[in-house]
């Protein structure tokens, strides 16, 4: 987690407008901890593809999440099966 926060700060210093979090594990438990520890000025963007149970109410409490991107894996999957 400390490595993530260091990387976030480096992105911010480099001029990033947002910080994207795309956690690959299906367990979302590290995400709230990471959000809570982030004290930078740029908002976080979450992509909860692997953890759909992590909902917007859980993200809103922090005031640090500026955007959530919902991936369309089911649409991609159904499209690839038709081709």
Over the stretch 11-68, which tens digit does the pLDDT of each residue have? 999 999 999 988 778 788 888 888 889 999 999 998 887 777 777 777 777 788 898 8
Over the stretch 2-26, which tens digit does the pLDDT of each residue have? 899 999 999 999 999 999 988 778 7
pLDDT at 6: 95
Output the average pLDDT for the chain. Answer: 82
pLDDT at 72: 67
Domain ranges of the chain: 2-82
Non-local (6+) Cβ contacts of 71 within 8 A are 47, 49
C-alpha–C-alpha distance, residues 41 and 43, integer Å? 7
């Amino acid at each position: 987690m400390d490595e993530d926060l260091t990387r976030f700060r480096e992105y911010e210093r480099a001029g990033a407008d947002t910080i994207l979090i795309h956690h690959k594990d299906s367990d979302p438990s590290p995400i709230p901890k990471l959000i809570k520890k982030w004290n930078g000025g740029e908002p976080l963007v979450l992509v909860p593809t692997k953890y759909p149970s992590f909902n917007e109410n859980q993200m809103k409490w922090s005031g640090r999440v500026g955007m959530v991107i919902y991936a369309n894996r089911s649409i991609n999957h159904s499209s690839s099966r038709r081709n």
